[in-house]
Amino acid sequence: MNIRKVWILLVSLGVIIGISYMMTSWFPESPSTKPFRSGMEAEPGKYYTLGDSAGRTILQTGFPVAVGDEFIAEDNIRYRVSSLDGWNGIMEQVIEKKSPRKGLSATIENAWPVQAQFDTQPRVAIYCTHSDESYQPSQGKKSRTGSGAIFRVGYALASSLIEDGITVDQSFAVHDPHDINAYTRSRRTLLQLLKIGPTAAFDIHRDSAPASAYLTYITGVESAKVMIVVGRQNPNMNANMAFAERIKERADKLYPGLIRGIFIGRGSYNQDLSPRALLFEIGTSEIPEQYAQNAAYCLGDVLGTLL
């Protein structure tokens, strides 16, 4: 009798295990859904859509977004993320106190670091934290491990700067995989570049927002837009921000529409290592690489007139 009970128990357990296996085989997606966390980078095929209370879209981006982050739009209106619900969020306009100095130029000039009195031969460092990033229409995929098209976009920026007489040190170091530790790995690359003594250092990326968020025409040529990113959790934030605002001001004069805005996000993005370190999102994965190269070349012109 006891042996019979043991067999019944074993058969019952086998049935339960079998049913569980079939359920996970038939419905594999249900237990693997990744929970949303504020401040996480957008998953493939997803992006943040941030708008105002009236439903007007202010920003679409795959860049990590958290409550408290800010965005200075193309028209120089400043917004702050007040709430997030998954991949959607609300932004409120920030009413800035008027400065006794007149205009944006005076504000930027006063905030410009003392070290920015450049030598006769400026030098720029360029690297790519997310070395896999590519452009779907051109490469057929959004990511190419170890050899992303983002390196060529960085090279377009370097070429433009070199034509303006600026020395460029571009690193082609690979920092894969594309995970939370990529910035830790690229930090070592930036530290090596900083030993050369660059005037400024630029981390080149591409966004994962819809194509419409980045498409534009510059001097009649199809091009991508550029979003400048400043980390708000680093001791150099004010200096980085002054540099970003100066770049946007100059770009708005030379190539209207090139800079889609300045995103001030949670994190440091290694900008704590230099008062003139910035991150550029050049285009998005949904547009051709050539558009991003066009934007990078124009951005080089802008930087060349500053440096």
Amino acid identity, position 52: D
- CA–CA dist 95, 36 (Å, integer): 30
Look at residues 113, 291, 276 and name the one whose alpha carbon lies nearest to residue 215.
291
Express each pLDDT in 191-227 by its tens digit. Answer: 999 999 999 999 999 999 999 999 999 999 999 999 9
CB-side neighbour CA atoms (13 Å) of 186: 31
13 part of a folded domain: no
Q: What pLDDT does residue 40 have?
A: 75
291 part of a folded domain: yes
Clarify whether residues 118 and 183 are in a common domain.
yes
Clarify whether residues 203 and 283 are in a common domain.
yes
Clarify whether residues 206 and 62 are in a common domain.
no
Range of the domain at 283: 103-306
Residues in Cβ contact with 47 at an 8 Å cutoff, skipping those fewer than 6 apart: 60, 61, 62, 87, 207, 208, 209, 210
Express each pLDDT in 43-91 by its tens digit. Answer: 777 999 999 999 999 999 999 999 999 999 999 999 999 999 999 999 9
Q: What pLDDT does residue 13 have?
A: 55
28 part of a folded domain: no
Clarify whether residues 87 and 192 are in a common domain.
no
- Between residues 14 and 22, the one the model is more confident about: 14
Clarify whether residues 77 and 221 are in a common domain.
no
Look at residues 129, 296, 141 and name the one whose alpha carbon lies nearest to residue 214.
296
Averaged confidence pLDDT in the chain: 86
65 part of a folded domain: yes
Q: What pLDDT does residue 298 have?
A: 98
Write down which residue in 93, 117, 146 finishes a domain: 93
Write down which residue in 93, 125, 157 finishes a domain: 93
Number of helices (H) and strands (E) in the chain: give both, helices first: 7, 13
83 part of a folded domain: yes
- pLDDT score of 232 more than 90: yes
Clarify whether residues 117 and 60 are in a common domain.
no
Express each pLDDT in 235-244 by its tens digit. Answer: 999 999 999 9
Clarify whether residues 112 and 139 are in a common domain.
yes
38 part of a folded domain: no
**Confidence tier at 116 by pLDDT (50, 70, 90):** very low
pTM of the model: 0.83
Clarify whether residues 255 and 107 are in a common domain.
yes
Q: What pLDDT does residue 216 have?
A: 98
Q: Report the sign of the C-alpha dihedral through residues 121, 252, 126, 151, in that order.
A: negative
Q: What pLDDT does residue 272 have?
A: 98
3-class DSSP state of 38: coil
Write down which residue in 34, 58, 93 finishes a domain: 93
Give the chain's domain count. Answer: 2
β pairing state of 277-284 and 259-265: unpaired
| Per-position DSSP letters for 131-185, written without gaps between them | TTB--HHHHSSSB-TT--THHHHHHHHHHHHHHTT-EEEE------S-STTHHHH
Per DSSP, 242 falls in state H
Clarify whether residues 147 and 193 are in a common domain.
yes
Clarify whether residues 89 and 122 are in a common domain.
no
Clarify whether residues 114 and 256 are in a common domain.
yes
The three-point CA angle 222-72-261 to 5° equals 15
222 part of a folded domain: yes
10 part of a folded domain: no
Q: What pLDDT does residue 125 have?
A: 98
CB 263 within 8 A of CB 187: no
Considering only 32-36, 68-72, 138-142, 224-228, which range has the smallest mean pLDDT?
32-36
Clarify whether residues 265 and 174 are in a common domain.
yes
177 prior amide bond cis, ω within 30: yes
